[in-house]
Homo-oligomer: A and B are copies of this chain.
Amino acid sequence: MATLTAADRRRLARVEYDAFLAACPSRQLLDRISDKWVTLSLTALADGPQRYSEISRRVAGVSQKMLTQTLRGLERDGLVTRTVTPMVPVRVDYELTPLGDSLLETLKPLKRWAELHMVEVDRARDTFERAAPSANG
């Protein structure tokens, strides 16, 4: 039984795919910004440095775990800086790096596209749902 099954072939393809991913900057970036909280945290820092608690207030609904995790990721990737001030109650400030800022800028056209075209998407979705009310029509 040395013949490859469909599953085997897919598995193989997946390995190649992963290897491909590792070398593809676009995919890496996408993996990064596709994280739900990443863009929100980035946006929260758009106006300048913020304390941890301030960010957690701006990014409504995030848990400490997720926020910390996200900010650490951003710090590690050189998109934000983390500054600890050893006061009695510790104070930690986060700030966009130039790199992080440039990313935020690059994200703006996308935002603009969304604002311009998401209504069309919504309309299309409506039409589609009406035409094929399979799920919950």
Contacts and interface: CB of A to CB of B under 8 A. Distances in A.
Nearest to A106: B113
A30 B20 contact: no
A53 to B, nearest CB: 12
Nearest to A111: B26
Contacts of A15: 61
A106 B99 contact: no
A16 B123 CA distance: 24
B60 A17 contact: yes
Given A13-B61, A16-B60, A29 B113 contact: yes
A91 interface: no
Contacts of A114: 25-26, 28-30
A95 to B, nearest CB: 15
Contact of A63 (B10, B29, B128): B10
Given A28-B118, A120-B99, A125 B78 contact: yes
Interface of A: 10, 13-18, 20, 25-26, 28-30, 32-36, 39, 60-61, 63, 75-79, 99, 102-103, 106-107, 109-111, 113-115, 117-121, 123-125, 127-129
